[in-house]
């Protein structure tokens, strides 16, 4: 069975640690899993009035892209103990119009990555709260709070072996969880 899995990175910046972690996960995907990189930086802020008329083309394209996925892996920074606004906006865009939530039923993985010691715990759990309402079954264990991230990268910007091994463990658990729910 081939699977298509979305990768959504909550950071917009070029040198994002979260993007680096997402790339490391993508590199570990088996050949029967196709990654789809979801871009969120060009989504206009959610406004119900726009859904009542002709929705922005960027919303329509994003919704169609998400609807076609088998699952979604989220990589989130922590901004002020929560998720970045751009990530929350993407969740909101995909959740509407009412009754057309494209996230529903898609198994999710939540990874939070931070240079800070608590590994984006606040963002990780705020995201989980929204995913519960969006009806996305979310991997519970192992949890993925990747803290002190700058210390987990070698001089070439690659994650050190112990971290890559941990990423593999998380990914294996997520894929097994997803397949069980298919
Ligand atoms: C607006 C803002 C708020 C932040 N708040 C937190 C925070 O609450 N906790 C934390 O660990 N780091 C916080 N940071 C630091 C981020 O963890 C750091 O910038 C990180 O590199 C962002 O992820 P990225 O590398 O994927 O872009 C904040 C950064 C910004 C720009």
Report pLDDT digits (tens) over 53-83: 899 999 999 999 999 999 999 999 999 999 9
Q: Is the CB–ligand 1 distance for residue 13 below 6 Å?
A: yes
Q: Backbone phi, then psi, for 86, in 5-degree steps?
A: -65, -35
Q: Is the CB–ligand 1 distance for residue 179 below 6 Å?
A: no
Q: Is the CB–ligand 1 distance for residue 86 below 6 Å?
A: no
How far, in Å, is the centroid of ligand 1 from the Cα of 141?
A: 24
CA distance 150 to 92: 31
Whether omega for the bond prior to residue 167 falls within 30 degrees of 0, making it cis, is no
Report pLDDT digits (tens) over 82-124: 999 999 999 999 999 999 999 999 999 999 999 999 999 999 9
> pLDDT-derived band of residue 148, with 50, 70 and 90 as boundaries?
very high
Scanning the structure block, which residue is given the tokens 């057309």? 100
Report pLDDT digits (tens) over 151-165: 999 999 899 999 999
Q: 140, 132 in Cβ contact below 8 A? A: no
**C-alpha torsion angle, residues 68, 176, 90, 135 (rounded to 10):** 90
Write down the CATH superfamily of domain 3-43+55-181.
Answer: Flavodoxin domain (3.40.50.360)
The confidence score (pLDDT) of residue 1 equals 74
Q: What percent of the chain has pLDDT over 90?
A: 98
Report which DSSP code applies to 158: P
Nearest CA to ligand 1 atom 14: 79
- Domain chopping of the chain, boundaries: 3-43+55-181
Helix (H) or strand (E) holding 121: helix 121-133
């Amino acid at each position: 069975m081939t699977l298509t899995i979305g990768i959504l990175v909550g950071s917009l910046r070029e040198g994002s640690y979260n993007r680096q972690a997402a790339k490391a996960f993508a590199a570990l995907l088996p050949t029967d899993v196709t990654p789809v990189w979801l871009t969120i930086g060009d989504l206009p802020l959610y406004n119900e009035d726009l859904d009542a008329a002709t929705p922005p083309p960027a919303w329509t394209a994003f919704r169609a892209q998400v609807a076609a996925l088998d699952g979604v892996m989220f990589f989130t920074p922590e901004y002020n103990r929560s998720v970045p606004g751009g990530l929350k906006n993407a969740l909101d865009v995909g959740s509407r119009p009412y009754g057309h939530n494209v996230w529903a039923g898609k198994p999710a993985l939540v990874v939070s990555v931070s240079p800070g010691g608590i590994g984006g715990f606040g963002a990780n759990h705020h995201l989980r709260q929204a995913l519960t309402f969006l009806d996305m079954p979310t991997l519970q264990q192992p949890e993925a709070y990747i803290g002190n991230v700058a210390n987990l990268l070698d001089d070439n910007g690659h994650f050190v072996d112990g971290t890559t091994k941990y990423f593999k463990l998380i990914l294996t658990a997520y894929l097994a969880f997803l397949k069980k729910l298919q």
